[in-house]
Amino acid sequence: MKTVLGIDLGTQSIKLVFYDFEIKKVVASSSADLEVYRDDSGTAEQNVDDWLSALESCFSNVPEPIKSSLVAIGVSGQQHGFVALDAHDKPLYPVKLWCDTATQAEVDEITDNFGGRARLIEVAGNPILTGYTAPKIVWLKKNRPSAYERLAHIMLPHDYLNFVLTGEKVMECGDASGTGMLNVHEREWSAEVLYAMDSGRDLSACLPKLVVPDQFIGATTSRAAKDYGIPRGVPVSCGGGDNMMGAIGTGNVVPGVLTMSLGTSGCLYAYSDTPIVDPKGNIAAFCSSTGGWLPLVCTMNCTLSTELIRAPLGVGLREFENVVSAAKPGCDGVISLPFFSGERTPDLPNARGSILGLTAENCNTSNLLRAQVESSIYALKFGLDEMISIGVKGDEIILTGGGSNSAVWRQIASDICQLEVAVLDQGEGAAFGAALQSLWVFSRASGQDLSIADITTEHLTKDLSFHSKPNESFRKIYDESYLRYKKAIHHISPFYSDI
């Protein structure tokens, strides 16, 4: 038996997927929960020690023969998190996560220092947003100056796990483009952005070397082998951010494919052979972790919104499908703006959740819960419309994430976007994508001249029982409801912009 391992460091859990690529079967998987530390300022943080404890727990649940069969490892991780290490590789501060919205002042500072949002997009390809890594670094400088003075290494979550496994400090361009510090045109760190962050310090000295995606970065050390019960010397690929690995895990490695991730956050992205930069900045101009680019839109509230609303409504997971299905499309006029964690799309980091359009007749559990699903998809439809406007094409959506397991989520996504929706047999898109990336690099290192598309074509298949087609009779209802959603955002945005 020969296996490749995909590790996905998510927001709420770490997951392992061992894939026997010779028989095309997942032979073991394991997960462990993680806690997010939050407060009313928008702070969302985790500790690296919790990550490593969870990783050790995951490995302990995998049989020894399977761990011994490893020939390659790939790591996926939540994007944008700031892992700050000193010269002795010790954490200086808890990891500020992608969903941490306490850095808007730092976003404004960097943007002003650079010469404005439009110039940032022109030069680097992206504006600086509150979820990105760059403002978190400036936050540390302003709020923990002694820690900032000792800052020696800037890493992202998946980079840190790569370092723990191999001892190597590197970064690849997919995850790096989510820092806000990468020039996505040139695939190199932007000296101008770094200067706008700190004109008195050369932050490039803290940044890791950028590596190409089709080569191994190193191999598991004796320490990693001892801690996790895996062989020493297993090669490790560069891995990438969860969206980049999700792209591989859904076959989104050639133009024409759309992936929609329905997790705590929501994402929609597509592959491109050339950089696609949105002059309005609504679509992130990210690199892929396969050598191309991955135009992407991200929302901070997706299945998070239904989970938060289910509890006070007293709706269990077993009841969820029936309760949502009992409401009519459009929810009788109920509109949710589910910005519980602030929001990136639209860019309202200080926003809070709102429900509008309630009357004595439509205020019921089904409408309130279905409105969370519909509005989460409306935010991604906005991204779809924006992508189409800048030349991205796709005639089918591949769903991934927890929401893809729900028939009602799948159908609503299909109806609102008016596209067919498919789900793959291989679950855990990001973890499986990381495994496939490592398989790609292993194959190339073994002398096989394979593209990443060759790998995904061979190892990904659709689950036809999960296929959804849009209901044409709902188009008018959803078009009208989507317009009400956008109108609601237009009117409520000034209130949150002033907070």
Q: Does 242 qualify as catalytic in the annotation?
A: yes
Q: Do domains 3-241 and 251-423+469-499 have the same CATH topology?
A: yes
**Bond from prior residue into 94 cis (ω within 30 degrees of 0):** no
Which one of 50, 242, 347, 415 is the catalytic residue? Answer: 242
Is 3-241 a domain of CATH 3.30.530.20?
no
Strand partners, 95: 46
Helix orientation angle between 303-313 and 317-325, rounded to the nearest 10 degrees: 100
Neighbour tally for 270: CB within 10 Å: 25
What's the half-sphere exposure (Cβ side, CA atoms, 13 Å) at 270? 25
Give the architecture (CATH level 2) of 251-423+469-499.
Answer: 2-Layer Sandwich (3.30)
Per-residue pLDDT of the chain (499 residues; tens, 9 = 90+): 999 999 999 999 999 999 999 999 999 999 999 999 999 888 999 999 999 999 999 999 999 999 999 999 999 999 999 999 999 999 999 999 999 999 999 999 999 999 999 999 999 999 999 999 999 999 999 999 999 999 999 999 999 999 999 999 999 999 999 999 999 999 999 999 999 999 999 999 999 999 999 999 999 999 999 999 999 999 999 999 999 999 999 999 999 999 999 988 899 999 999 999 999 999 999 999 999 999 999 999 999 999 999 999 999 999 999 999 999 999 999 999 999 988 988 888 889 999 999 999 999 999 999 999 999 999 999 999 999 999 998 889 999 988 999 999 999 999 999 999 999 998 778 999 999 999 999 999 999 999 999 999 999 999 999 999 999 999 999 999 999 999 999 999 998 876 5
The count of C-alpha atoms lying within 13 angstroms of the C-alpha of 356, restricted to the half-sphere facing its C-beta, is 18
Would you list the domain boundaries of the chain? 3-241, 251-423+469-499
The DSSP call for residue 473 is G
Helical spans, DSSP H, in 229-353: 242-249, 303-313, 317-325
Per DSSP, the residues of 329-380 read TTGGG-EEE--BTBBTTTTBTT---EEE---TTT-SHHHHHHHHHHHHHHHH
From residue 174, alpha-carbon distances to 72, 130, 171, 228 in Å are 20, 18, 9, 27
Among the listed residues 301, 262, 323, 294, the one whose alpha carbon sits nearest the alpha carbon of residue 468? 262
pTM attached to this predicted model: 0.93
